[in-house]
Structure 1
Amino acid sequence: MIKKSLPVGIDDFKEIIESNCYFVDKSLLINELLSKKSKVTLLSRPRRFGKTLNMSMLNYFFNIEDKDNNKKLFEGLDISNTDKMKYMGEYPVIYISLKEIKVNNWDLCLNKLHLLLQNEYDKYNLTLEKKRENQENAILDLSKFLYEKYKKKVIILIDEYDTPLVTAHSQGYYDEAIFFFRNFLSAALKGNPYLEFSVLTGILRVAKESIFSGLNNLAVSTILDRDFNHFGLTEEEVEELLKYYELEYELEEVKKWYNGYKFGNKLVYNPWSLINFASKNELNPYWVNTSDNTLIKQLLTKNDEKVFEELELVFKGETIWETISENIIFDDLDNINTIWSLMLFSGYLTYEDIRISTITGLKSYSLKIPNQEIKSFFRH
C-alpha cells in the first residue's frame, strides 16, 4: 500500500475526505446537534482540535447549494446510518470564520471583517455597504435574502467567534470590539426570524454579559461537559492512524507527547500534533508553535508570585486544585483564577478530578500538564 502524506494545515472537510486521509469519523456531531434542537450552540474547545473541520462538515451537510455532490461526501460515514440524512442539503447556510481577524487596531479589524462578509455576499451577487450599521446587520440582512430566495430558514455557522476579541484585548481596542460584536451577534442570533439554528465555535466562553447579552437561547458545551465529544482523537483513532502509516511501534511515545487532554469523561490526543507527527515521523512540539501565546504570556507577567509557585509544582508533575470559571470576563483578567481558567480552556493544562464545596457550591479542579509537548512550552 502506498502511503499518502497527511494534509497538514488543511481544515476543509471536503478536501480531507477526497484525499482519502480522513481517519476520524466525527459525523455524529450532526446527529447530536439535530437531536438537542438548540437554537444557538456554542462549542468551546482549544485551537486546532477540529473545530474548523467540524464546521466545514456542517456546512457541506446542510447546505442547499450543490447538495447532490455534497451527499457523496457522507457515504459510509456514521451519519449516513441515521434518520438525520433527511436534513442533508435542506438549508441555505451562512458560514464565516473569524479566525484570521488578528490586527493591531480597530479600523483594520472592521475593514477585515467587511472583506470577510463581502466574500459571503459575493456568492449571491450582493454588495455590502461599508457603514458600521450595515456590517452590524450584515448576517441578519443576508439571512432575510436567503430566506426569500429559498423559502427556507437559514443555518448560521460562525467559526472562532472569539479570535477578534482576544486580539482586541491584547492590542488595546477591546472596548470598541466588544461593543460592535455584541450588536453583530445579537442581530444575527437574537430574534432573527429567518434563523433555523446556529453553531458557534471558539476557545473561550466569553461571559454572557460581555457579548451574549440578552441571548436566552444559547446552549454552551466546553471541555468540562460530557456532550459533543467530537473533538480531538481517541486512543482507537490514533491506533488506526499509526497502523496505516506503519508507525504503531511509536504508540507509547506518542501517548507521552500528545495524549492527556480530558474532554468531558474522555481522554483525547491533540490531532494537530498527531497529523504532523505522522507526516514527519518526528516527536516535536508542533501544537505549541502554532500560536504566539500572547494572552497567556501577558497574564503570566501580571500575576503574582503564587501563580509561579503553583506552576512550578505543576511542572514537577504534581496537581494543584483551583476554582475554574467557565465564563471568561476580559475586564477581570488580572484575577488569579482567570489565568487557570484560560490555561485550562486553551489546552495548556488539563484536569483529573472535580470537587464541590459543601459551603459555597463552587467547583474546583485538579490541574496538571497534559503531556510532554506542553511541558516543553512551560520549560521555556
Structure 2
Amino acid sequence: MNESLTVRNFVAGIEDFEELISEKVIYIDKTSYLEDLIKRSHVALILRPRRFGKTLSMSTLSCFLEMNYQNPEDRSRPERLFKDLEVSKNKAFCDEYMGRYPVISLTFKDVEGANFREAVNRIIAVFARLARKFDFLTKKDNLDTSFLRRIRDLNDGKMPVFGSDGNFDGVNNNLILDFLANLSDCLNQAFNKAPFLIIDEYDVPLQKARKHGYYDKMLIVIRGILSSALKSNSSIKKAFVTGCLRIAHQSIFTGVNNFKTYGIQNEFLSGFIGLTKDDTIKLLEKCGLESCISDVSEWYDGYNFAGNDMLCPWSVLNFAGDALGSRNPAAFQPHNYWANSSGNDIIEICMKHPGGKDLDRLQNLMEGKTEEIALREFTSYPDITSNTDFDTFATLMLHTGYLTAVKDAVPSEKNRAVVRIPNKEILECFSNKVKTLFSESNPEWKGMSQELRESLFAGNAAKVSEIINKMLQAFISVRDFGSEGFYHGFITGVLGITAGSPKELKSNREGGNGYFDLAIMDERISAAVIMEFKISERIKASVRKKECIEALNQIERNDYDCEFRDDYDTIKKFGIVFFKKTCEVMEKYQLDKTSE
C-alpha cells in the first residue's frame, strides 16, 4: 500500500491471490505469517467465520509454495507475486520454500446439491479440474495416472458414478475417496518431493448436506477423502484445511497424526485471517477516509480472536470501495454487507426457539448485553432446528461470526465462554430478522394478530390475555424490552398487521377529557375497541387485576368513548396491564360483572 488508493483498487469477491496482485486490487499483507504457518504445522485445521478471507489466505499460501512444474528451477512467478511483500524480506525462508514444492489446492466452498447425487457430482467436478491441471503427469514414465483419466470420464458422464440401485458404484467410490492420495503419490514420485495439500472450506459439503437431508452419506465421503489423503500418507509434506466449524476429531479426522486445530480462541495465527484494527486504520488512512474510522469500527469491529481485535475484511473492503466511488467519500455511511452474503437462516431458526429462558438470553444479546454459554463440541454438523438448545445455537453462531467472545471476560468454568453480538452490522442482521419474523410476512404471526383482533371485537378478555401472553413469550424486541412505550408499540404493531387501512387505528389520540392509548375500529361491523395500558411492577396477579380495574375506570372517568358513540353501535373497552412478558386483561363487561 505504497500509493494512494482509488475505487479501482477495490473489486469485491476476488479470492485468487495471483489475480488480485496482477489486477492491482487491494491486498492487506499477511505474508509475515507464512513462516509460522508452514514450519509449525503438519496437519492444520484453521477455523474462521465466513467472509473473513479463508479462501484468499489459502490461495496466497498456494502461490507462495507452488513450483513451476515444467521448469522447477524457475521461481519467477512467486518472485513477481510476492515482490515487496513482507515475506520477501525473509530470504532464507523464501529460498527454502518459495516456489519449491508441488501443491494440491482445492476448495469445497461450491459443493452443494439438493440431493446426494448432485453434491457428489460437484466434488467430482472439483477433482476433474485438478486432473486437467496435472494432466502433464500422464506423459511421465513409470507413473500410474489412470485415475486422472477416469475422474475426468466420471465428470464427463462417460462412466457411471452411481449404480442402478442409486448407491455408489464400488470401484468409482474408491476412485473418488482415494483421488487426493493418488495424486499426491504421483506428484511425490514425479518430483521426488512430497506436495503440500490445501483443502479450503472442508465443512461446506457437510453443512449443505445437513440442510438437504443427506448428511450421513456425505459424511462418509468427506471422511473417506480426508482419511485417505491425510492418514499416514507419506506422500504429503504438510496439509492445511480450513472451515467454519470443527467436527470432532474422532468423527471426521480419524487417525490423522500431528493434527492441530487453530480456531478463533487460539493465539497462534490469530491475526492471520481477517483485518486487525491496525490493518484497518492504515487502509482507511491510505484511502483518505480517516474521518470514517469511528463509524467503521462501530459497524465492523468487535471480533475477538484470542485477544486480537479483528474486523471482517469483506465488510471493510466493500465499505472502502463504495465510499471511494461515492460523491462525498468522507461522508459515506456504513452499509450492511454481511447480510447480503447470506440468508442468516440460523438467526431466524434461533428466534423461533420455544424456550422462554432462551429467548430472554437472545433478547439480552440484542440489547448489547453478554451471555455465558457452554461451548459445544460437535460430533457431527449440528442439525439446527427450533428444538436445538440455546448453547448449541450460540456455539454455532460464535464459529460463524454472529457472536464473539468478550475480551478479557472470565467464564465461570472450563469449556464455557462469555459472548456478545460483535457490532452494528451483525446486530442489524438480527434486527432485520426480528422485523421479518414478527410481521405480516410470517403467516403464523399474522394468524395470531388476526385472532387477537377478533377476540378484542368479541369482548373475550380471557382469549385476548391468552393471545397477548403467547405473543409476548415468543417476541424479541429490537428496542429495550419493557421500556416506556414498548408495550404500546408492540400492541399497535400487532394490530397494525390486521388493519385494512391506517384509519382503523388511533394511537395516543385525544378523547373526552384526556388521551386514550389505543383504539381500533371496524366500520363493517360498526364496532370500536378502546384500550388503556398500564405497566405493573408487581408480580402478584391480584394486584394487577386491580390495576386493570383502574385502567377501565380511567376510560370511563375521562369519557374516552365520546367520539365513538355516534358512529359505532358497539364499543368494547379493555384495561391491559403488563408485567415483563405477561399481561392481565379485563373488559368493561367483565368489570361490570365484578362490581355487581
For the pair 1:224 / 2:269, whether they are aligned, the reply is no
Deviates more, 1:331-340 or 1:225-234: 331-340
Write out aligned runs for 1:359-378 (5 A): 362-378=414-430
**Residue in 1 that maps onto 2:59:** 56
Q: CA deviation at 1:28?
A: 2.1
Residue 320 of structure 2, aligned match among 278, 283, 286: 278
Question: Quick one: distance in 2 between partners of 1:71 and 1:234?
Answer: 26
Q: CA deviation at 1:297?
A: 3.8
**Residue in 1 that maps onto 2:93:** 84
Unpaired runs of at least 5, structure 1: none
CA contact (8 A) 1:349 1:367 kept: yes
Partner amino acid for 2:211?
Answer: S
Question: Quick one: distance in 2 between partners of 1:304 and 1:205?
Answer: 27
**Residue in 2 that maps onto 1:350:** 404
**Residue in 2 that maps onto 1:305:** 356
Cα gap change, 1:75 to 1:241, in 2 (>3 Å): same
Residue by residue over 1:241-267, the C-alpha shift from the partner in whole angstroms, topping out at 9 and shown as x without a partner, is 112222111111111100000011110
Q: CA deviation at 1:331?
A: 5.3
Cα gap change, 1:26 to 1:2, in 2 (>3 Å): closer
Cα gap change, 1:243 to 1:60, in 2 (>3 Å): same
**Match of 1:225, SS?**
coil
Question: Quick one: distance in 2 between partners of 1:355 and 1:328?
Answer: 26
Q: CA deviation at 1:316?
A: 0.5
Residue 239 of structure 1, aligned match among 278, 281, 295: 281
CA contact (8 A) 1:258 1:371 kept: yes
Partner amino acid for 1:374?
Answer: I
**Residue in 1 that maps onto 2:464:** none
Q: CA deviation at 1:71?
A: 1.7
For the pair 1:74 / 2:82, whether they are aligned, the reply is yes
TM-score calculated relative to the size of structure 1: 0.94
CA contact (8 A) 2:5 2:287 kept: no
Cα gap change, 1:342 to 1:17, in 2 (>3 Å): same
Q: Tell me how large the CA RMSD over aligned residues is.
A: 1.9
Unpaired runs of at least 5, structure 2: 69-73, 136-147, 155-171, 324-332, 433-596
Question: Quick one: distance in 2 between partners of 1:84 and 1:346?
Answer: 34
For the pair 1:124 / 2:134, whether they are aligned, the reply is yes
Partner amino acid for 2:303?
Answer: Y
Question: Quick one: distance in 2 between partners of 1:76 and 1:51?
Answer: 22
**Residue in 2 that maps onto 1:192:** 233
Question: Quick one: distance in 1 between partners of 2:289 and 2:241?
Answer: 35
Question: Quick one: distance in 1 between partners of 2:377 and 2:264?
Answer: 10
Question: Quick one: distance in 2 between partners of 1:88 and 1:174?
Answer: 39
Write out aligned runs for 1:1-380 (5 A): 3=6, 4-36=8-40, 38-65=41-68, 67-82=75-90, 83-85=92-94, 86-125=96-135, 126-129=148-151, 130=154, 131-229=172-270, 230-281=272-323, 282-298=333-349, 300-301=351-352, 304-327=355-378, 329-330=380-381, 334-352=388-406, 353-355=408-410, 357=412, 362-380=414-432
**Match of 1:330, SS?**
coil
Deviates more, 1:286-295 or 1:215-224: 286-295
Question: Quick one: distance in 2 between partners of 1:233 and 1:331?
Answer: 29
Residue by residue over 1:295-349, the C-alpha shift from the partner in whole angstroms, topping out at 9 and shown as x without a partner, is 5544554563322211110100111111113546335753432111100010001
Question: Quick one: distance in 2 between partners of 1:265 and 1:294?
Answer: 29
Question: Quick one: distance in 1 between partners of 2:259 and 2:120?
Answer: 25
**Match of 1:109, SS?**
helix
Deviates more, 1:44-53 or 1:207-216: 207-216
CA contact (8 A) 2:112 2:118 kept: no
Q: CA deviation at 1:2?
A: 6.9
Q: CA deviation at 1:213?
A: 1.6
Question: Quick one: distance in 2 between partners of 1:306 and 1:63?
Answer: 53
Partner amino acid for 1:245?
Answer: C
Cα gap change, 1:105 to 1:301, in 2 (>3 Å): farther
CA contact (8 A) 1:355 1:363 kept: no
Cα gap change, 1:5 to 1:22, in 2 (>3 Å): closer
Cα gap change, 1:258 to 1:328, in 2 (>3 Å): farther
Question: Quick one: distance in 1 between partners of 2:196 and 2:34?
Answer: 13
**Match of 1:195, SS?**
coil
Question: Quick one: distance in 2 between partners of 1:351 and 1:71?
Answer: 39
Cα gap change, 1:300 to 1:152, in 2 (>3 Å): farther
Partner amino acid for 1:246?
Answer: G
**Match of 2:33, SS?**
helix
Question: Quick one: distance in 1 between partners of 2:267 and 2:5?
Answer: 38
Number of equivalenced pairs? 376
Question: Quick one: distance in 1 between partners of 2:348 and 2:180?
Answer: 34
Residue by residue over 1:244-294, the C-alpha shift from the partner in whole angstroms, topping out at 9 and shown as x without a partner, is 222111111111100000011110111000111111124111012201234
Question: Quick one: distance in 1 between partners of 2:304 and 2:278?
Answer: 15
Cα gap change, 1:265 to 1:75, in 2 (>3 Å): same
Question: Quick one: distance in 2 between partners of 1:64 and 1:23?
Answer: 22
CA contact (8 A) 2:403 2:419 kept: yes
Q: Kindly report structure 1 stretches of 4+ aligned residues shifted beyond 6 Å.
A: none
Cα gap change, 1:298 to 1:356, in 2 (>3 Å): closer
Partner amino acid for 1:264?
Answer: A
TM-score calculated relative to the size of structure 2: 0.61
Identity fraction in percent:
33
Question: Quick one: distance in 2 between partners of 1:305 and 1:104?
Answer: 34
